[in-house]
Amino acid sequence: MTQPIFMVGARGAGKTTVGSELAKALGYKFVDTDLYLLRTSGLSVADIVDREGWEGFRRRETEALKAVCSPLTVVATGGGAVLAQENRDFMREAGTVIYLRSPASTLANRLEDAPQEDQRPTLTGRPITEEMMQVLNEREALYQEAAHHVVDGTQDPALVVNSVMDALALPVAR
Ligand SMILES: Nc1ncnc2c1ncn2[C@@H]1O[C@H](COP(=O)(O)OP(=O)(O)O)[C@@H](O)[C@H]1O
Ligand SMILES: O=C(O)C1=C[C@@H](OP(=O)(O)O)[C@@H](O)[C@H](O)C1
Ligand SMILES: [Mg+2]
């Protein structure tokens, strides 16, 4: 299998952390769409949102997803990449999509420890636990729809990597 592997899930799900470790384990290249945008434009997510609004960021994110897609690559997407049907279809057709799933409380705890506000400006203006509950309510079905495999993301990163490797050995769902 040489197709790219796309990591999807909410903020704090571990897409960047687990995706990078997974790439090492597989001998794949690793790329993160948010870091790609930062590297290629010199702008953080917060900078882009300040200048162009979330709409502008989402447009750039779709372009980034296509630009980074290549064989033997693990792609960590941003938490909102699944919002666009175009992105969901693209990822499912181009590669294997893994949804790293954790409850809102776990995500909120991780984000409280490592907010990275320049890359994660508030989505709702609400406190973080409420925000993550709202985000999962709005997006859970989209993560599920995009994913070939849903993996429990609550364990330590090394164990999550093992679970992803196990899932990749399975036949692709749908
Ligand atoms: N499986 C995990 N267990 C514990 N902490 C994790 C796990 N995955 C990620 N983290 C931590 O949570 C924070 C967000 O992780 P990150 O990989 O940036 O998530 P995402 O890219 O999905 O937003 C980081 O501080 C990271 O170290
Ligand atoms: O959930 C979201 O809408 C977003 C998640 C972020 O990425 P991570 O999921 O890697 O934190 C980043 O793309 C941006 O702040 C928007
Ligand atoms: Mg990330």
Q: What is the pLDDT of residues 19-47, one digit of tens each?
A: 999 999 999 999 999 999 999 999 999 99
Work out which ligand 1 atom sits closest to the CA atom of 113.
25
* 169 within a domain of the structure (yes/no): no
Work out which ligand 2 atom sits closest to the CA atom of 13.
9
* 51 within a domain of the structure (yes/no): yes
**For residue 66, what is the domain's CATH number?**
3.40.50.300
* 83 within a domain of the structure (yes/no): yes
Please provide the average confidence, as pLDDT, over all residues in the chain. 97
* 171 within a domain of the structure (yes/no): no
What confidence category does residue 174 fall into, taking pLDDT thresholds of 50, 70 and 90? low
Report field, pTM of the whole predicted structure over 0.95 = yes
Position 53, amino acid: G
* Mutate which of 6, 11, 17, 155 for ligand 1 pocket (most atoms within 8 A of beta carbon): 17
The response to whether residue 142 sits with its C-beta less than 6 Å from ligand 2 reads: no
51 alpha carbon to ligand 3 midpoint, in Å? 21
* 26 within a domain of the structure (yes/no): yes
Q: Which domain holds residue 73?
A: 5-164
What confidence category does residue 173 fall into, taking pLDDT thresholds of 50, 70 and 90? low
- The C-alpha atoms of residue 31 and residue 47 are separated, in whole angstroms, by 20
Number of domains in the chain: 1
Work out which ligand 2 atom sits closest to the CA atom of 54.
16
- The C-alpha atoms of residue 4 and residue 2 are separated, in whole angstroms, by 6
Taking CA atoms only, the protein residue closest to ligand 2 atom 10 is 78
Which residues sit in the known binding site? 12-17, 32, 34, 58, 79, 120, 139, 155
ipTM confidence = 0.99
Q: What is the pLDDT of residues 63-83, one digit of tens each?
A: 999 999 999 999 999 999 999
